[in-house]
Amino acid sequence: MKKKIRKVDLERKKRRREFFIILAVIPVVVLLTYVESHISLISGDVPVATNILVLGLININIILLLLLIFLVFRNAVKLFFSSSSNVMGSKLRTKLIASFVGLTIIPTFLLFFFVVGFINKSVDSWFDIKIDEALEESLELAQNYYKDASDKMLTLARRVSVNVADLGVEPQVEVLDEFIERLKKENDFSTLEIYSADIEKLASTRSPEVTV
């Protein structure tokens, strides 16, 4: 009889300990979710290290939620087997476990669905921000590249125009060919053509590997 009472006392202490663990874990999960929500709002302006911190907090959140679910389900299973047992003291243990499960299962599952929904939303928005930033930076880089190339070609065209004018009013074809060939080599062009004001081709040169 004393052994049965001791066993029930041990069971009560164990249930109480696990109950306090769950009571400690639930506010930690809520706090982590709160921190993640605030960090995710400014994730576009923070360094990579902070983004890694967000992922770490999400992983910790998931682990704590799994711990909560494990404790609740384990006690639910014990409740099932204890309720079907006729051993002396089993009814008292059943009441202890039932009260434990009843106090923890509802807030645990509410918290689980809330946190999982938040994590999905945060991760989606986090990666959307990163993708948008990458696309914007790529577009800006491409625009700057083409602007620089356009400015360079415009400057070169003006210089060529001045040099052609220095060759005379109607320079010979051989002189123009020699001029643009030298210009092509100096600027590493694959193709170079000179047109008159009437859009008449005066001279052209093309690298052998370039096909029309």
Closest-CA residue to 196 (of 67, 173, 56): 173
- 3-state SS assignment for residue 207: coil
Residues 52, 95, single domain; the answer is yes
C-alpha dist (Å) from residue 66 to 18, 34, 70, 81, 108 = 14, 19, 6, 23, 10
pLDDT digit string, tens, across residues 38-91: 665 544 444 444 556 666 766 776 777 777 777 777 766 766 666 555 544 455
Which of the pair, 126 or 57, is modelled with greater confidence?
A: 57
Q: Residue 212 falls within a domain, yes or no? A: no
Task: Assess if residue 118 is contained within a domain.
Answer: yes
For 44, the domain range is: 2-138
pTM of the model: 0.37
Instruction: Say if residue 123 is in the same domain as residue 151.
Output: no
Compute, in degrees rounded to 10, the torsion defined by CA atoms 192, 194, 200, 202.
-100
122, 138, 154: which is the final residue of a domain? Answer: 138
**Same structural domain, 100 and 148:** no
125 in the same domain as 172? no
Residue 211 lies in a domain: no
175 falls within a domain? yes
**Is residue 72 a part of any domain in this protein?**
yes
Q: DSSP code of 111?
A: H
**Are 119 and 151 part of one and the same domain?**
no
What letters, b where the CB count within 10 A reaches 16 and e where it falls short, cover 188-212?
A: ebeebebeeeeeeeebebeeeeeee
89 and 134, same domain (yes or no): yes
- Number of structural domains, the chain? 2
Q: Examine the domain organization and report whether 133 and 76 are in the same domain.
A: yes
Output the six-digit token pair for 166. 């220095």
Rounded Cα–Cα distance for residues 6 and 121 (Å): 49
What's the one-letter identity of residue 188? D
Q: What is the pLDDT of residues 161-204, one digit of tens each?
A: 776 666 665 656 677 777 777 777 777 777 777 776 677 777 77
Q: Are residues 126 and 187 in the same domain?
A: no
